[in-house]
Amino acid sequence: MKKFLKISLTIFAVLALAIGGYLLYILKFKQYDVADEEVDTIVEEPYTIELPGDEFSLEDQEVAEGDASNGTTNGEQTTSDESSTAGNQSQNPTQTGKSQTTTTTTTTTNNSSTRQPTTSPAQPASKPTVAAIKQKYAPTFSNLEAQADQKLGALIGRAQGEYNAKKANGESVDYGYFYNKYAGAANALEANTDAAFHTVLNAVENDLVKHGYDKSYAQSFKSEYEATKKARRDGILDKVTGL
């Protein structure tokens, strides 16, 4: 009896090793012709990243308003001077006229010299809060996630379409081929998505540091991204096993 159990266990172990080795071979080591232009297009299409620009600061606005005010004042003074000159040229050549014109010119000059631009005292630009800085980048992260979901949906749709076509044509389905082809494509797509995400994350961190905050405040974006990525992977497995 003991001898029979030993033989049975040995046979079971050999079969398990053989099956495991075969699965490892067909999934990891066997070479497949997985070239697919449509899959390559889905994976290699670059992400579109639109980073928010810096806000127009209050200080810049005051400088611009000050320049506009000075330009208007200079224009008014030039006009007054030109009017005075025109008045001198058209005056009556009598001594009384000259005296009156001189008085008028002096008055006009005095009025011009007393015009001073009224500018408000400069105020420092308000410092944005951490929440305001992070909120500024929220649409960029949302757009990136939407692009990733669209690419992944296209990749899954391509896999399902190829699988259904083989079934409809009565062809045998090689699961090793499907695994190697689409698992590799999904990994490449995830790597591209990670690179795009870190581009935006670095921009947030730099913005925080620029305004005197620690870049660790941006880590909530990374935690949320990792959770979303895990859910995305689980979704892929559910759809693949349902083929």
Q: Tokens 């009025």 map to which residue?
A: 111
CA dist., res. 105 & res. 97, Å (int): 12
**The model scores a pTM over 0.75:** no
Closest by Cα among 92, 57, 243 to 161: 243
Residue type at 191 in one-letter notation: A
Per-residue pLDDT of the chain (243 residues; tens, 9 = 90+): 655 555 555 555 555 554 555 454 444 445 566 778 999 999 999 999 999 975 433 333 344 445 445 544 444 444 444 444 444 444 444 444 444 443 343 444 444 444 555 555 555 568 899 999 999 999 999 999 999 999 999 999 999 999 999 999 998 888 888 888 888 899 999 999 999 999 999 999 999 999 999 999 999 999 999 999 888 877 766 665 555
CA dist., res. 82 & res. 178, Å (int): 86
CA dist., res. 11 & res. 33, Å (int): 35
